[in-house]
């Protein structure tokens, strides 16, 4: 029922030419993989060129952030209206946005509502910090982020959630498959209470945090994990292709 999804979050990396080269280095192989949805999330400035390069392929695009208004005096921001021409997905509430750009649950909730209303599929990121984890508060933080992020959002399987424990991002210290599966199971049950069981079962929930071609199989083997949001390893063509192809072959659509 849930189609596996691998998204590459390039973060603030790649100049125009580097983005183009990176896509060219993986496009044919990615396009030929059938059993998983493939999404590249480059910096805003490269979305247009990537759209051109990927237009006749099965590779989809996402943005890394957006504003919650369509237009106006918001210097430096990018609106959903601009993105709908360029991509299908948008990453929202990444922990780096929460941490360095003071994005609150309320702001993220506005963005989720706006993205869905604009026809974009949000990849809503949630995850506890190391401190929350060590003080036993992980479940509480995750429940708050899910409930606040989805406040007044109508049940929809267009939503994607990425569980990214902050302590696993860019550290080389990934969660174990079992840990991630347990938390993702919790997220699904919170959503079932908030919405309904059926929609909660249809929403794809990804794991993110130090995913590589060497550990993806451990996550994909878990029943609740529908794919991954990949940072560093998505900047290497062979790594990303390997992550996608392992996912497609190990995870048969349910
Ligand atoms: P890394 O894969 O580099 O740990 O980053 C994960 C992430 O933040 C993806 O959004």
The CATH number that applies at residue 114 is: 3.20.20.70
How far separated are the first and last CA of the chain, in Å rounded?
4
Cα-to-centroid distance, 166 and ligand 1 (Å): 9
Q: How far does residue 72's CA lie from ligand 1's centre (Å)?
A: 31
- Name the maximum alpha-carbon separation found in the chain: 49
Q: Which of 152, 143, 66, 62 shows the shortest CA–CA distance to 113?
A: 152
Is residue 164 lining ligand 1, measured as CB closer than 6 Å?
yes
Residue 252 has pLDDT above 70, yes or no: no
Quote helix, strand, coil % in the chain, to nearest 5.
45, 15, 40
- List, for residues 105-162, the tens digit of each pLDDT value: 999 999 999 999 999 999 999 999 999 999 999 999 999 999 999 999 999 999 999 9
Contact present, 191 and 146 (Cβ < 8 Å): yes
pTM listed for this prediction: 0.98
Ligand 1 pocket test, pick from 91, 166, 180, 230 with the greatest ligand atom count within 8 Å of Cβ, gives: 230
Q: What's 71-107 look like in SS3?
A: CCCCCCCCCHHHHHCCCCEEEECCHHHHHHCCCCHHH
| Domains contained in the chain, number | 1
Span 89-98, mean pLDDT? 98
| Structural domain containing residue 41 | 5-251
Indicate if 67 belongs to the active site. no
């Amino acid at each position: 029922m849930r189609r596996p999804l691998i998204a590459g979050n390039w973060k603030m990396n790649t100049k125009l030419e580097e983005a183009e080269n990176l896509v060219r280095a993986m496009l044919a192989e990615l396009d030929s993989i059938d059993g998983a949805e493939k999404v590249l999330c480059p910096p805003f400035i490269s979305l247009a060129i990537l759209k051109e390069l990927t237009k006749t392929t099965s590779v989809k695009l996402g943005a890394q952030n957006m504003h919650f208004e369509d237009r106006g005096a918001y210097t430096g921001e990018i609106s959903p209206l601009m993105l709908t021409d360029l991509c299908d997905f948008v990453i929202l509430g990444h922990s780096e946005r929460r941490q360095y750009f003071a994005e609150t649950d309320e702001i993220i909730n506005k963005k989720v509502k706006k993205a869905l209303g604009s026809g974009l599929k949000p990849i809503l990121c949630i995850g506890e910090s190391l401190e929350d984890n060590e003080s036993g508060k992980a479940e509480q933080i995750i429940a708050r982020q899910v409930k606040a992020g989805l406040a007044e959002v109508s049940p929809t399987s267009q939503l994607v959630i990425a569980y990214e424990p902050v302590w696993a991002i860019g550290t080389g210290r990934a969660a174990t498959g079992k840990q991630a599966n347990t938390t993702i199971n919790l997220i699904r049950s919170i959503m079932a209470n908030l919405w309904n069981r059926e929609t909660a079962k249809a929403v794809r929930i990804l794991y993110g945090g130090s995913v590589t071609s060497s550990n993806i199989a451990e996550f994909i083997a878990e029943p609740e994990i529908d794919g991954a949001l990949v940072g560093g390893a998505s900047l290497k063509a062979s790594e990303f292709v390997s992550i996608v192809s392992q996912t497609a072959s190990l995870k048969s659509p349910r």
